[in-house]
C-alpha cells in the first residue's frame, strides 16, 4: 500500500507509531504518518497507520453514488481506480479522484496501483468479479448478497484462501452498535441463558427503485434484505444455525421476486429464532421503532406510501423499465444527483441508533430490545435503559474492520466464511419454501470470540 498526501504535522505517540508498522517492511514516511494520525480523529488508535489502502471500485452505480463520498472521507483509504461499463461514470471518477479507470473489472484488477477491490456490480457478477480480484492477490469487500449460490460463495472463499488475501462479506446491520451491544449482554450471561430471538421488519423494498432484473436476481427481498436480518440473528445467537423452515413467495405479481418471508430457525444449541420480512410498503415497522430508520434517521412517516406511488407512476412494462432506467441514471454515480433517492425521503442520518425493524431477545431473566439511543432491558427490576455510544457509522465500521484485518494481518469477523454461512441461511429460506420442509445446514461458522 502507498502513502496518502502529506502536508500537515502533529506528533504521534510512540505506541501509535509502533502499532502502525505491522503491515509493511517497506519503510514509512514520517510526515505521511503524522498527517494520517492528525486526520484520523475519532478512529481507534490501533487502526492508525502510516499506510493507505489503495482501493479500486468495481461498479459505479446506485450503491457507489452513496458509498463513494463516504469512502472518500476516510484517511486510511485512497480511491485509486474504478471499473464500470458506463463511460460518463468513469470520466467523473477520473476527474474527481485523479484515478485510473477501466471498462472492465478484469483490467482494473491487473493494476499495480490497487491493493483491494470493492465489488458493487450487480448481484450476479459478485462471484466472478471477486474471484478475478482475489486471483490477482487483491483483498476484496463484496456487497450483499455475497453471491447468488452457495457453490459460488465456496469458490470465492477457496480463491481467497489459495491466494492468501482477505475476503470480506460486506455491510450488514450486524455492524450496528445496538446489535453488537445486545450480543455483548447475551454473552456476558447477566440475564441468564439465551432462550429465543424474534425479529420483524416491514418496509418498502419491493417498490424501491430497483429494476426488475435486480429484484429477480436477488429473489426479491430474500437475498437482498435477508443477509441483513440473518446476520443480526446469527450474531445474536452465536452463529451456528442448525436448520431452517420458511415460506417465501411473490405477493405482487408485477415484481419478479419474493416480497416477503417468514422463517423459523434453530441454532445448534436449540435456541429458536423467528424472522419476518415484508417489503410491500403497506405497514412500515418504523411506526413501532419511534419512526427511526436503518440509518438512525427520523423517517418520513409517508416514505413507504411515496415509494409505492413512485413505483406506480412508472406505469407498466415495457415503459416501466425505460422510465426507471432514466431516473436511475440520475441517481447513480456519474449522474446529476448521485445518491439522491436514498437521501430524499428521510431526515438526517445518525440522529439516533439505526433500526433494522424490531428485534426482541429473550433470556432466562429478561428481555432486551432497542431504544432510540441504546437498549431497553426488562428484568425483575422493571425496565432500564442502557445507552449505547453511537460509535462509527456501520459502513465505516465495515471499512475499518477490513482495513484493520489487512494492515494487522488478522482475521476479519465478517469474512467470506461468515458471509457464506449467512447466504446458506438465506438460500435455505428459498429451498424450504420450495420444498415445504425443514432444511439442515452444513456451512455454519460461530461468532468469533
Ligand atoms: N442501491 C443501493 O443503495 C445498494 C446498497 C447496498 C448494496 N447494494 C448492492 O450493490 C450492488 C449494486 O447495486 P446497485 O443498486 O448499485 O446497482 P446499479 O445497477 O445501480 O449499479 C451497478 C453498476 O455496475 C456496472 N456494471 C454492470 N456490469 C458490469 C461489469 N460486467 N463490469 C463492470 N461494471 C459493471 C453498471 O454499469 C452500474 O454502474 C448490488 O449487489 C446491491 O445489492 C446496493
- Superfamily of domain 51-172+397-414 in the CATH hierarchy: NAD(P)-binding Rossmann-like Domain (3.40.50.720)
Take atom 33 of ligand 1 and give the residue whose Cα is closest: 84
CA of 157 to the centre of ligand 1 (A): 21
Asked whether 144 lines ligand 1 (CB < 6 A), one says yes
Cell of 125: 457478477
**Distance between Cα 11 and ligand 1 center (Å):** 41
Q: Is 145 helix (H, G, I), strand (E, B) or coil?
A: coil
What separation in Å is there between the alpha carbon of 246 and the centre of ligand 1?
A: 28
Mutate to test the pocket of ligand 1, among 83, 91, 106, 120 (most ligand atoms within 8 A of CB): 120
pLDDT at 346: 56
Residue 390, pLDDT score: 80
Indicate which residue's Cα is closest to atom 15 of ligand 1.
Answer: 62
Please tell me the distance between residue 84's alpha carbon and the centre of ligand 1 in angstroms.
Answer: 9
From the alpha carbon of 126, which atom of ligand 1 is closest?
A: 41
| Mean pLDDT of successive 10-residue stretches along the chain, which has 449 residues | 38 31 32 45 42 95 93 95 98 98 98 97 98 98 98 98 97 92 98 98 96 97 98 98 98 97 98 98 96 91 91 90 93 88 62 95 98 97 94 83 92 97 98 98 95
Q: Which residues contact 423 (CB under 8 A, 6 or more apart)?
A: 145, 146, 147, 150, 153, 223, 227
Mutate which of 56, 60, 61, 216 to test ligand 1's pocket (most atoms within 8 Å of Cβ)? 61
DSSP 380: T
Distance 395 CA to ligand 1 centre (A): 17
Give ranges for CATH 3.40.50.720 in the chain: 51-172+397-414
Rounded CA gap, 63 and 121, in Å?
9
* CATH 3.30.360.10 residue window(s) in the chain: 174-393+423-440
Minimum CA distance residue for ligand 1 atom 28 = 121
Sheet holding 439-440, edge to edge: 382-387, 374-379, 366-370, 358-363, 194-202, 272-278, 260-267, 241-249, 439-440
Residue 394, pLDDT score: 76
Residues 163 and 169: beta-carbon distance below 8 Å: no
The residue nearest atom 25 of ligand 1, judged by CA position, is 59
Q: Which atom of ligand 1 is nearest to the CA of 210?
A: 15
* 411 touches ligand 1 (CB under 6 Å): no
Atom of ligand 1 nearest to the CA of 60: 39
* DSSP symbol at 45: G
What atom of ligand 1 comes closest to residue 328's alpha carbon?
20
Q: How far is the CA of 268 from the centre of ligand 1 (A)?
A: 35
Q: Is the CB of 61 under 6 A from ligand 1?
A: yes
**pLDDT of amino acid 349:** 65
Which one of 3.40.50.720, 3.30.360.10, 3.10.450.50, 3.30.2000.10 gives the CATH number of domain 174-393+423-440? 3.30.360.10
CB-ligand 1 contact for 118 (6 Å cutoff)? no
Of 424, 445, 414, which is closest to residue 243 (Cα–Cα)?
424
- Cα of 63 to ligand 1 centre, how many Å? 6
Torsion of CA 420, 424, 425, 429, to 10 degrees: 140
Give the CA distances from residue 29 to residues 8, 20, 48, 256, in Å, rounded to whole numbers and listed in that order: 13, 12, 14, 54
Amino acid at each position: 500500500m502507498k502513502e496518502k498526501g502529506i502536508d500537515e504535522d502533529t506528533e504521534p505517540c510512540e505506541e501509535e507509531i509502533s502499532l502502525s508498522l505491522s503491515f509493511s517492511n517497506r519503510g514509512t514516511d514520517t510526515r505521511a504518518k503524522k498527517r494520517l494520525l492528525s486526520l484520523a480523529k475519532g478512529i481507534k488508535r490501533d487502526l492508525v497507520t502510516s499506510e493507505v489502502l489503495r482501493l479500486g471500485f468495481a461498479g459505479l452505480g446506485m450503491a457507489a453514488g452513496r458509498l463513494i463520498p463516504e469512502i472518500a472521507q476516510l484517511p486510511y483509504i485512497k480511491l485509486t481506480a474504478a471499473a464500470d461499463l458506463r463511460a460518463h461514470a468513469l470520466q467523473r471518477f477520473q476527474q474527481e479522484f485523479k484515478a485510473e479507470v477501466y471498462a472492465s473489472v478484469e483490467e482494473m484488477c491487473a493494476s499495480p496501483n490497487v491493493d483491494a477491490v470493492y465489488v458493487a456490480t450487480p448481484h450476479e457478477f459478485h462471484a466472478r468479479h471477486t474471484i478475478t480480484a482475489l486471483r490477482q492477490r487483491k483483498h476484496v469487500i463484496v456487497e450483499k448478497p455475497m453471491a447468488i449460490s452457495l457453490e459460488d460463495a465456496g469458490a470465492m472463499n477457496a480463491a481467497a484462501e489459495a491466494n492468501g488475501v482477505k475476503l470480506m462479506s460486506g455491510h450488514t446491520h450486524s455492524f450496528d452498535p445496538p446489535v453488537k451491544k445486545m450480543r455483548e449482554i447475551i454473552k456476558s450471561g447477566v440475564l441468564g441463558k439465551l432462550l429465543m430471538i424474534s425479529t420483524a421488519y416491514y418496509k418498502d423494498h419491493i417498490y424501491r427503485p430497483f429494476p426488475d432484473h435486480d429484484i429477480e436476481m436477488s429473489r426479491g427481498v430474500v437475498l437482498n434484505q435477508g443477509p441483513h436480518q440473518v446476520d443480526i440473528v446469527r450474531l445474536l445467537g452465536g452463529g451456528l444455525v442448525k436448520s431452517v423452515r420458511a415460506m417465501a413467495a411473490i405477493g405482487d405479481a408485477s415484481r419478479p421476486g419474493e416480497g416477503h418471508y417468514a422463517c423459523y430457525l434453530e441454532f445448534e444449541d436449540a435456541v429458536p429464532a423467528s424472522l419476518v420480512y415484508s417489503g410491500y410498503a403497506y405497514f412500515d415497522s418504523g411506526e413501532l421503532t419511534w419512526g427511526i430508520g436503518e440509518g438512525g434517521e427520523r423517517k418520513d412517516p409517508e416514505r413507504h406510501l411515496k415509494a409505492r406511488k413512485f413505483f406506480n407512476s412508472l406505469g407498466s412494462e415495457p415503459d416501466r423499465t425505460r422510465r426507471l432506467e432514466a431516473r436511475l441514471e440520475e441517481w447513480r454515480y456519474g449522474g446529476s444527483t448521485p445518491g439522491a433517492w436514498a437521501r430524499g425521503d428521510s431526515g438526517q442520518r445518525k440522529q439516533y441508533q439505526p433500526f433494522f425493524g424490531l428485534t426482541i431477545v429473550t433470556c432466562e431473566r429478561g428481555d432486551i430490545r432497542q431504544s432510540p439511543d441504546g437498549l431497553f432491558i426488562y428484568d425483575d427490576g422493571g425496565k432500564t435503559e442502557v445507552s449505547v455510544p453511537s460509535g462509527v457509522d456501520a459502513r465505516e465500521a465495515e471499512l475499518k474492520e477490513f482495513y484493520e484485518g489487512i494492515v494487522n494481518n488478522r482475521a476479519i469477523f465478517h469474512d467470506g466464511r461468515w458471509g457464506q454461512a449467512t447466504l446458506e441461511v438465506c438460500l435455505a429460506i428459498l429451498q424450504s419454501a420450495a420444498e415445504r420442509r425443514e432444511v439442515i445446514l452444513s456451512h455454519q461458522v460461530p461468532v468469533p470470540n
